Structure 1
Amino acid sequence: MVANHLDRRTMLAALVAFAAASDSAFAEDFIDLEWTDLVPEGQPAIPPVIQGLIQHDGPSLSSQQPPSQGVRTDWNGQIVRLPGFIVPVDYSGTGVTAFILVPFVGACVHVPPPPANQLVFVTTAVPYESSGLFEPVNVIGMFGTASTSTQLADIAYALSADRIVPF
């Protein structure tokens, strides 16, 4: 009986050690992406153009979204890390559960959205307590191409977030 209990403790300790090693390996096991990586090779990355103030009572910003020049499928199904800014789409309590990850502050809200291949629709099971639109974050999770259309913009990529952390 004592030997059986000792074996269980040894097995439990081994499992805990394995889980800890797996978590630390996972913490470093992702591909770092930049926004330019999402644009197909040979296509120009369109930088944000801000010309004066936006008339919010004018045409919708989504109608001013430039066309996308295609997508890259290189990272479909891969765990990636991508920095950006949050444009909230859905909440649970006070946390954001779905948002558009954008490459620069104000995209989709104060200036016309960038092309679809410069936007990522992010979902998370654990609501993220965002401090606002101007907070840069790193999002780590499963990445892929997925055409999504919202009132704010057309989006070419999706990311199922495992972790969202301040940049």
Structure 2
Amino acid sequence: MPTEFRAMPRRRTVLAAGAAALLAPLAVRAAGFREITWDELVPAGWDPMKDLGELPAGLQDSDPRAKALMDKLREIWDNAPTVPAMNGIDAKLPGYLVPLEEGKQGIREFLLVPYFGACIHTPPPPSNQILLGRAAKPFTGLRTMDAVWAYGRLEIERAPSSMGVAGYTMRVARVEKYRGK
């Protein structure tokens, strides 16, 4: 045992041990969140374009075939497959915040998306690239399209909203401003 610890009065040792015991659960909880990427939420080999068939060249926006293709693509994206292994994990995921339910006390429900402008501009990403976050307690200090880390229990649940269809939901433990790893 190093001498500086032997010389410490007993009272300080007890206080330090008590503080360490209080902080340990926080460290264990923080360590319990697995950092994941958006790519991990897409099944290997999924190709949304394969079901569209051959695309006609030179389509104009006003062409009814263009609208039919966009409708078919939207259906494919809204029903994008998820990754079963992600169900029930405690995850940490970076993304951009799109508030859905916001009041005086803060944001309680939001979408998390992988790139700036997703769900605000159309079309929204595939559902396996949209996560619906539900916070037990509202959080404040964040705005639309802020880059954040979301921490919580990930679940596979299709959840439609006015901004797009989420393929995953998260019971949010906390949300914090993105500051890298």
Q: For this structure pair, what is the TM-score category when the shorter chain's length is used for normalisation?
A: 0.7 to 0.9
- Code of the aligned partner of 1:38: L
Cα deviations across residues 59-93 of structure 1 (Å, max 9, x unaligned)? 9xxx7745243110212111100000111110231
- Summarize the alignment of residues 1-167 of structure 1 with structure 2, pairs less than 5 Å apart: 17-44=20-47, 65=74, 67=77, 68-167=79-178
Cα deviations across residues 106-134 of structure 1 (Å, max 9, x unaligned)? 11112310011100000112222244223
Percent pairwise identity: 28
More helix by share: 2
The verdict on how the C-alpha distance between 1:158 and 1:36 changes in structure 2, with shifts beyond 3 A counting, is: same
Number of equivalent positions: 142
Moved more, 31-40 or 88-97: 88-97
- Code of the aligned partner of 1:146: E
Cα deviations across residues 137-164 of structure 1 (Å, max 9, x unaligned)? 0001111101111122111100111110
Larger Rg: 2
- Report the TM-score when normalising by structure 1: 0.74
| Deviation for aligned residue 1:102 | 0.7
The verdict on how the C-alpha distance between 1:109 and 1:130 changes in structure 2, with shifts beyond 3 A counting, is: farther
- How far apart in 2 are the matches of 1:99 and 1:45? 25
- How far apart in 2 are the matches of 1:129 and 1:44? 38
2:112 and 2:133 in contact (8 A); partners too: yes
User: How much is the aligned-residue C-alpha RMSD, in angstroms?
Assistant: 2.5
Unaligned runs of 5+ in 1: 1-9, 47-58
- How far apart in 1 are the matches of 2:22 and 2:43? 38
- How far apart in 2 are the matches of 1:101 and 1:143? 12
- Report the TM-score when normalising by structure 2: 0.69
